[in-house]
Amino acid sequence: MSIDKDRELAVSAKSGDAAAFEALVTRYETPVFRYLLARLGHRADAEDALQEAFVSAYRYLQSFNVEQSFRAWIYTIAIREAGRIGKRQTRRRWVERLFAGSGEPVDDTDPVGDHGVWALARQALPVQQFTALWLYYHEQWDVGEVAAGLGRSSSWVKVNLHRARGVLRKRLQPASPALDLESEGKRV
């Protein structure tokens, strides 16, 4: 599906066509869920954030500017939901540590099977750097799309991708001295 098809579906959805909105949900639920799972680290939290993101998108569909990217808009909503749920996670983890053994253990497995790189990135990077890195490398967005999705400039994206790679390179150096994220085919 192209951006033009997204625009067509969004226009139809804004006019009350539930099938058009469902088509947009079908198109974006998997990649948005992958991001949320990588960002939050817990399946249940990612599912909650995904549901809330699409409910919010439906609720505010009339305010969506169809000249903009629907993909960037839905990710922006999902990023906000992840932040809200992330705050809840922090409180939950604090309570679990306080009452050790009384709660479910935190499931900190790597959701995309990249040998812990995304789990490390989630822990080591500020939220916006993690998100920029995820959208650029995992979702294959270009710098302009990442900038639009995060409401930042292209320069900000480039600088923060560079900084994020530096942090991860330093963290991974002892385990894998040959790791160089820039040599894996994606450069900014």
The predicted pLDDT at position 110 comes to 40
* C-alpha span between 30 and 101 (Å, rounded): 33
The three-point CA angle 163-167-160 to 5° equals 20
Q: What is the pLDDT, as a whole number, of residue 175? A: 52
pLDDT of residue 112: 44
* Helical packing angle, 18-40 and 43-59, nearest 10°: 140
Helical segments of the chain, H only = 3-14, 18-40, 43-59, 70-98, 117-124, 127-133, 143-150, 154-172
Length of the chain: 188
* pLDDT tens for each residue of the chain, 188 residues long: 577 899 999 999 999 999 999 999 999 999 999 999 999 888 988 999 999 999 999 999 999 999 999 999 999 999 999 988 877 666 556 445 544 443 433 344 444 444 467 888 888 999 999 999 989 888 888 899 999 989 999 999 999 999 998 898 888 776 544 445 554 445 55
Q: Map out the domains of the chain with their CATH numbers.
A: 1-108 (1.10.1740.10), 111-178 (1.10.10.10)
What pLDDT, on a 0 to 100 scale, did the predictor assign at position 57? 96
- In this prediction, residue 183 carries a pLDDT of 47
> What is the number of alpha carbons within 13 Å of residue 131 lying toward its C-beta?
25
Per-residue pLDDT, 34:
95
Query: Would you state the pLDDT for residue 137?
Result: 83
Report how far residue 137's alpha carbon sits from residue 161's, in angstroms, rounded to the nearest whole number: 10
So what's the pLDDT on residue 174? 62
| Torsion angle in degrees (nearest 10) through CA of 138, 140, 144, 146 | -20
**What is the pTM (predicted TM-score) of this model?**
0.62
